[in-house]
Amino acid sequence: MAIEVHGVNKSFGTTPVLREVSVDIASGSLTALLGPSGGGKSTLLRVIAGLEQPDTGTVVISGVDATRLSPQRRNVGFVFQHYAAFKHMTVYGNVAFGLEVRKRPKAEVRKRVAELLELVHLEQLADRYPAQLSGGQRQRMALARALAVEPQVLLLDEPFGALDAQVRKELRTWLRRLHDEVHVTTVFVTHDQEEAMDVADEIVVLAGGVVEQVGSPHEVYDNPANPFVMSFLGPVTRLDGHLVRPHDIEVSATEQPGSRAATVVRVVRLGFEVRIETRVDGEDVWAQVTRGSAEHLTLDPGDTVYLRPVSHARTLAAA
């Protein structure tokens, strides 16, 4: 295990932020800490980096108890949401910083920085200052800076949070590829479930300072441990007192075994997918079907349809 967090508690004043948090992160993995704002994910990341001290519990990095080590001695790379660029240094100076404070020979520093700038596609901008870069470029510079010192683990706090949607998508594909190239154990914080599922091998769902579930994107999506995880990771609707994914609801024009009669309220076309909003016994239920099957059904508001979960659907009793 690259990182073992055990029984960590942390409060700010009287507000508990992390409660008995234990997480193991495998070497070489790309893990997402996913959860709503204020769920404690950034605090957990900062505890791993040594930027916050846990009240109780331990943090082991690569087999060494790091709980009382200063951030300076943990050999972790940390990328801040707002980049924390050294404003008075050039891109080159920023990336070289960690090597320079380690008193590495000049020639080695130059070579390593050149390699890293190439890796993050900033080799043309080495002499620029952070103020002259775009958000995405600054974030890549921050990443190169963190990687320069060959950290045992790379920690990213909402790395794409401050970027616009387009750049965000590009950067996350790029991060995935980078990780496949560099293989450093990486943990990133996000509140965006799509981002977590797109990029991570492993997802840790944190809410209210508690680990709700740990698993692969596939596991947490298809086998959520509880209603919270289920509704946080994807769309859900309620049918017969159970939570179901709307794409797991079968819509038919005729009654089927185990189906419920529903009245169509609205049919919304969102490109490829069609959203059918219905009412069942006074409760709103919606189903997501493909355009093909919607056209086949020819639905109009007021029609009666029959709904049931598809046979392989994973449902949870609603809390």
Q: Which is nearer to other proteins, 78 or 228 (CB)?
A: 78
Task: Please give the Cα distance from 196 to 198 (Å, whole number).
Answer: 5
Angle between helices 106-119 and 135-148 (to 10 degrees): 140
When the beta carbons of 82 and 291 are compared against other proteins, the nearer one is 82
State which amino acid sits at residue 216. S
Q: Is 225 in the site for other proteins (CB under 8 A)?
A: no
Q: Which stretch binds other proteins (CB under 8 A): 15-23, 85-93, 220-228, 261-269?
A: 85-93
The reply on whether position 296 binds other proteins by CB under 8 A is no
Q: Does 75 bind other proteins (CB under 8 A)?
A: yes
- The Cα–Cα gap between 95 and 104 comes to 13
Residue 264 in the binding site for other proteins (CB under 8 A): no
Which range binds other proteins by CB under 8 A, 45-53, 175-183, 254-262, 272-280? 45-53
Nearer to other proteins by Cβ, of 59 and 251: the residue is: 59
* Token reading at 23: 């997480």
Smaller CB separation from other proteins, 145 or 308? 145
In the set 71, 208, 215, 234, which binds other proteins (CB under 8 A)? 71
Do the beta carbons of residue 33 and residue 186 sit within 8 Å?
no
Q: How far is the CB of 76 from other proteins (least distance, A)?
A: 6
Instruction: Tell how strand 185-190 and strand 153-157 pair up.
Output: parallel
* For other proteins, the closer CB: 22 or 53: 53
What angle, 0 to 180 degrees and rounded to 10, lies between the N-to-C axes of helices 106-119 and 91-101? 130
Backbone angles phi, psi at 142, to 5 degrees: -60, -35
The C-alpha atoms of residue 262 and residue 249 are separated, in whole angstroms, by 12
**Helix, strand, coil % over all residues of the chain, rounded to 5:** 35, 35, 35
Cα gap 244→225, rounded to integer Å? 14
Q: Give the shortest CB-241-to-other proteins separation in angstroms.
A: 48
Does position 162 interact with other proteins (CB under 8 A)? The reply is no
Q: How many residues touch other proteins (CB under 8 A)?
A: 28
What's the CA gap between 301 and 294, in Å, rounded?
13
Of 25-33, 78-86, 111-119, 300-308, the segment contacting other proteins by CB under 8 A is 78-86
62 binds other proteins (CB under 8 A): no
From 60, 69, 114, 149, residue interacting with other proteins (rule: CB under 8 A): 149
How far apart, in whole angstroms, are the C-alpha atoms of residue 146 and residue 158? Answer: 15
Q: Does position 3 bind other proteins by CB under 8 A?
A: no
**By the criterion CB under 8 A, which residues form the site for other proteins?**
49-51, 70-78, 80, 82, 84-88, 97-98, 101-102, 142, 145-146, 148-149
